[in-house]
Amino acid sequence: MSNESIIDVMYERHSVRKYTDQKITNKVMEKIIQAAGSAPSAWNLQPWKFILVQDQGLKEKLCEAAYGQQQVKEAAVLVIVLGDTQANLNAEGIYSVAANAGYMPESVKNDILANIKRVYDTVPNAGVQLALQNSSYAAMQLMLAAKAEGIDSCPMTGYDSKAVRELLEIPDRYIPTLLVTLGYASQPAHGSGRFPVNQILFYDKFGSR
């Protein structure tokens, strides 16, 4: 384990848009994606998939779909983080494994499965909302895991979703939540500030400091 704390990694991560030519090995990418997939999710449904793009021709087409943002074609790897709008279909498999492993009795498993079905069947837009929200947690973990490996990133939603879907043959079930460029920085991120804690924190009730 690195000596760097997770909090140091958070502060060191910034959106880098200029990268060297250095490649990222698939072994390192798999480590990062595995770490991203350890994110929490509602009912542990893990509504995410990741497409890694390394092919230069495809990166150039994706750069056009991202309105010409150069980091898309200059990054070593692009990751398209997908949200699964039908993650309820994962439930039976996930909970059977959990029950068989002794993490919960069969009755708890059945209650949870009934709850998941109720929400996905009755709450308007639940599948889309849960897909976007939960896959964003995985995307954040991905960027922090990359940074811990010395790899910089830039999260992006500035792209034509329909064009990205067509280029990468993404089925309707999945939403491209975020495009993340990854690579070794050749120029640092431009500076950015944040609100201080006294402007974002309330105690007990909204507005109380």
| Contact set with ligand FMN (CB under 6 A) | 14-15, 17, 69, 154-158, 189, 192
Contact 161, 67 (CB under 8 A): no
Cα–Cα distance for residue pair 118/134, rounded to 1 Å: 19
CB of 178 to ligand FMN, least distance (A): 6
Nearer to ligand FMN, 15 or 133 (CB): 15
Cα–Cα distance for residue pair 73/76, rounded to 1 Å: 8
Chain position carrying tokens 């983080």 = 81
Nearer to ligand FMN, 79 or 156 (CB): 156
Q: Is 42 helix (H, G, I), strand (E, B) or coil?
A: helix
Nearer to ligand FMN, 84 or 152 (CB): 152
CB of 4 to ligand FMN, least distance (A): 17
CB of 63 to ligand FMN, least distance (A): 12
Side chain identity at residue 107, one-letter code? S
Residue nearest to ligand FMN (CB): 158
Nearer to ligand FMN, 14 or 173 (CB): 14
Nearer to ligand FMN, 14 or 31 (CB): 14
- Vertex 39: Cα angle to 37 and 41 (nearest 5): 110
CB of 141 to ligand FMN, least distance (A): 14
Give φ, ψ of 103 to 5 degrees. Answer: -75, -20
Cα–Cα distance for residue pair 13/144, rounded to 1 Å: 7
CB of 14 to ligand FMN, least distance (A): 3
